[in-house]
Amino acid sequence: MNPIKIAVCDDEQYIRSYLISLIQKQQFETEITEYASAAAYLSDTAEYDLLFLDIELGNSCPEHTSASDGQAIFPIKNTVLHGKINGMELARRIRAAEGCPQPLIIFVTGYESYVYDAFDVDAFQYLLKPIDEQKFAEVFRKAVERLTAKTRQQQKKLVIQYAGTSRVLPLSEIYYMESQGHKIVLHLRDTTLEYYAKLGELEQALQGQFCRIHKGFLVNLAYVEGYSKAEVTLANGDRLNLSKYKYDGFVKAHLRYIRSSA
């Protein structure tokens, strides 16, 4: 695994230093960057695997502004930052950024009352101040396990025969597979590909990551946004028919996938 890219965002220098010292005690190769404000984090285009974020964060934005209105503008969805925002608001802006890599977020807070709010932004964990070293090590280990599993998943590939050549496709690029006669249509992020294959054989080979929801559809469980008794909605907006005969199996497979990714 490559070095874990970590950001520490807290407006108190001694907390940042303490968190960095705890990270460096763990037996993993890391690259650490520290930020004293939400504005500093947002103004940086760097991408991170893991973010330690102070919920009570509240420094003002930096002095650089747009020429038109005096508001600071940052890369995440052209964020316009007015005055102060706390760590929870920063997390919301990160999660709202479409097409941007999403870090695992571990909140650092002095108040237990914030814990339930963390679920709204899909926080991985939270640490209460003063930070217990043993608890930190446990949370950090679990975060690394999640990142490692994610990396392994992203590295899985499908080899297909297309246009007379072999082509290797990461499974993470495939939203779903559609059976059309003797061909399979792969619905990818930016395009579609057709090749000769059997959906039943792909179902067996890719179980755990993909699930058959209909005689004509095999969906990537990583991209399931929601479902009803009759259809499945994917992250790209496509809505696919869900067979009543496949419903129970799909629900169980989806829950297993969520638990294995947690």
Note the pLDDT of residue 155: 64
CA-based nearest residue to 65, from 74, 76, 75, 55: 74
Mean pLDDT of 47-74: 59
* Confidence check: pLDDT of 178 > 90: yes
CA-based nearest residue to 98, from 31, 2, 189, 220: 189
Range(s) within the chain of domains with CATH label 3.40.50.2300: 4-154
Q: Using CA atoms, how far apart are residues 10 and 57, in angstroms rounded to an integer?
A: 6
Rounded to the nearest integer, the mean pLDDT of the chain is 84
Cα dihedral sign for 61, 101, 51, 257? Answer: positive
* Confidence check: pLDDT of 73 > 50: no
- 210-214, strands of its sheet edge to edge: 192-196, 183-188, 174-180, 217-220, 210-214
Q: What is the pLDDT of residues 234-248, one digit of tens each?
A: 999 999 999 999 999
Q: And the tokens for 218?
A: 């095999």
Range(s) within the chain of domains with CATH label 2.40.50.1020: 157-261
Question: Options 3.90.870.10, 3.40.640.10, 3.40.50.2300, 3.40.50.740; which CATH number does 4-154 get?
Answer: 3.40.50.2300
Share of the chain above pLDDT 90, in %: 58
* Confidence check: pLDDT of 71 > 60: no
Task: Give residue 99's pLDDT band: very low, low, confident or very high (50, 70, 90).
Answer: low
Question: Options 3.30.70.580, 3.40.50.720, 3.40.190.10, 2.40.50.1020; which CATH number does 157-261 get?
Answer: 2.40.50.1020
